[in-house]
Amino acid sequence: MSDSLLIVLAQLNPTVGDIAGNCALIRAARGEAAQAGADLIVFSELFITGYPPEDLILKPSFQAAAEAAVQELAEETADGGPAILVGTPWREDGKLYNAALLLNNGSVAARRYKFALPNYGVFDEVRVFAQGPLPGPIAFRSIRLGVMICEDMWDDEVSECLEESGADVLLVINGSPFERDKTDVRLNSAVARVTETGLPLIYLNQVGGQDELVFDGTSFVLGADRTLRAQAAMFGEETLHTRWSTDENGAWQCEASPPSPQPEGLEAIYHAMVLGLRDYVGKNGFPGVLIGMSGGIDSALSAAVATDALGPEKVRCVRMPSRYTAQASLDDGAECADLLGLKSDTIGIEPAVAAFETMTAEVFEGREADATEENIQARVRGVILMAMSNKLGHMVLTTGNKSEMSVGYATLYGDMCGGYSVLKDVYKTVVFALAQWRNQNWASSFMGPEGRVIPEVIITKPPSAELRPDQLDQDSLPPYDVLDDILECLIEKELPVAEIVKRGHDEATAARIWRMLDLAEYKRRQAPPGVKLTGRALGKDRRYPITNRFHAASSRA
């Protein structure tokens, strides 16, 4: 007779710092698992505290609160219900570990500590956690679980140690953020561990937004033959029931079930933007968002994402025309708001701009108009948005994209005013593609209307800041397809100018963009957070000095 187990994978959305709330999620999910007859329910990395807790984890009172919560949960497992495998910080011998604990029969039955601590990109666990030893398997009923924590799966030394010490199944709990094209990379790493060890693998990831990070879930199970046996939803909470039994040779195998559909490409990026904004607004208690609706592509796409994330009743737009604003832009912005079902206000900025011209006339006398006057317009708009935010309570959603933020095509204390940006890690060419995608697609998780939500003219007209007569973005910047390819080379790939030129780009243009990228670092340090979508988001992923004299001319390799 074969052994059998029902293991439930709880792909849920914890909140950093909400230990009581996270434990409530555990109790609710465990109760449902108990009704299904589950033997074990598994939760993701640092689920007790939420992930990533960053330096919050260094507070002794926070560590103590997490440990007390774990002890309460452990005592509750004396009821004969499912055991719990959960991620939490844990102290031992004066050291703090990123731990996976098995709670069973009323106590903490086993502990395993993370061995491979990531120290790159958005991760800096080396500065807050001690490295655990190479783990051995955890004996649970008739199975030996080879428990790994996130980065441990990317280190073949950990899985090799578990296989050699008798593990039957590899079980990985994760806090793995979404990145463009990361799903296949993640799956390939899991396949490599299965191939090396000959063991099936359970991969559980959390879902939800935490500041700039979005966790996509996409939990899965691989058989020892590397086939996909089960897969949870992407960007959605789910408790995935996996049924395990031993074959005639005593090897554990998972019963196959249909995998959930997995968004790819533009669809995945758009879903990540929606989820990131929804959780940032919801978890921080904002009643809604406020958007300056210019009639351009960036504000239109931002408004569409916000509406899909929050619903039209929580999104408010304001048009702020100047003497340079075309009537067509006002009409386009109004049409977009109407298509999305949004309330829209109009506040002209000319009285405030005229007041600034009068106030500064003596100081500026004899000097030609330049970017100063353009920036005054942007800053007046910023003041209006922040005043409305103060009065109404809505968070201002900035609309700048990665292309503009990379080269400093934005005004400090002007269009950079705000609390969050959904386009911060989206290049301009992708902004256009996402707008077209949203006009043609809709999902049941979206709270905005089906069908076309962005007027076609907004997508097709040449972009302009409309801060001076007949202004176009390409007066100051290369065409966006050229700019974005150069920026991807500089940011994502760290290529020198010589290599960029080999891709067909003009050397002077590539060197100029490099210089603009460097010079704008001081602006980016003051920019609001935004959804991370690529491998090198501007911010924690890319930490460059503001004072920096190394430039393109210094690098000819």
- Tallying the residues shown for the chain, one arrives at 557
- Strand partners of residue 90: 97
- Of 98, 42, 106, the closest CA to residue 73 belongs to 106
Q: Token digits for 114?
A: 């993370």
Quick count: other Cβ atoms within 10 Å of Cβ 194?
20
* Element at 183 (helix H, strand E): helix 182-197
- Of 416, 433, 458, 471, the closest CA to residue 329 belongs to 458
φ, ψ dihedrals at 103, nearest 5°: -105, 120
Q: Are 86 and 48 in contact (CB under 8 A)?
A: yes
* Complete DSSP assignment for 112-127: EE--S---STT--GGG
Order of strands, sheet of 143-149, starting from the edge strand that comes earlier in the sequence? 138-140, 143-149, 169-174, 201-205, 220-222, 228-231
Distance (Å, rounded) from C-alpha 139 to C-alpha 525? 48
Distance (Å, rounded) from C-alpha 527 to C-alpha 517? 14
Choose, from 23, 150, 417, 489, the residue flagged as catalytic.
150
Q: Are 219 and 206 in contact (CB under 8 A)?
A: no
Q: Are 476 and 516 in contact (CB under 8 A)?
A: no
Distance (Å, rounded) from C-alpha 265 to C-alpha 261? 13
- Of 209, 411, 392, 412, the closest CA to residue 290 belongs to 392
Residues 6 or more apart from 212 whose CB is under 8 A from it? 122, 276, 424, 529, 530, 531, 532, 537, 539, 540
In the numeric block, the tokens 């949960």 are attached to 73
Assess whether 150 carries a catalytic annotation. yes
Choose, from 23, 45, 404, 489, the residue flagged as catalytic.
45
Assess whether 114 carries a catalytic annotation. yes
- Strand partners of residue 254: 244
Give whole-number Cα distances, 512 to 156, 363, 507, 517, 552, in Å: 43, 32, 9, 9, 8
Assess whether 23 carries a catalytic annotation. no
Choose, from 114, 314, 402, 424, the residue flagged as catalytic.
114
- Of 237, 233, 235, 236, the closest CA to residue 259 belongs to 233
Q: Given its phi and psi angles, is residue 193 left (phi above 0), alpha (psi -120 to 50 degrees) or beta?
A: alpha
Residues annotated as catalytic (active site), given as ranges: 45, 114, 150
